[in-house]
Amino acid sequence: MLKRRLTIAQVCELDGVGKTTVYERLARGEYDSIKEGKMRRITEESVERRRAATEKPVRGGGGMGDIGGAEAATTP
């Protein structure tokens, strides 16, 4: 099965980061990459794997976002 290979620019756009960050992540081994001639390609699978590993679980309510809501307007 052929893995989709992404350019550095494509990874920047997908992850919302700059080129320096992508190259730093490559150096740390956070992405799998393939050298094609002079171009460095990053496997889409490794980008997805990194994203899944760094996702934060969503919590329900009770956070700072509740301050100043409708309940704050009704003081006893």
Give per-residue pLDDT as tens, 31-73.
999 999 999 999 999 999 998 888 876 666 555 555 555 555 5
Q: Is residue 46 part of a domain?
A: yes
The pLDDT of residue 56 is 72
Q: Is residue 74 part of a domain?
A: no
Q: How many domains does the chain have?
A: 1
Domain range holding 41? 5-54
The pLDDT of residue 9 is 96
Instruction: Report the alpha-carbon distance of residue 45 to residue 7 in Å, rounded.
Output: 13
The pLDDT of residue 3 is 74
DSSP three-state, residue 64: helix
- In angstroms, the Cα distances linking 17 to 8, 25, 26, 52 are 10, 11, 13, 16
The pLDDT of residue 62 is 56
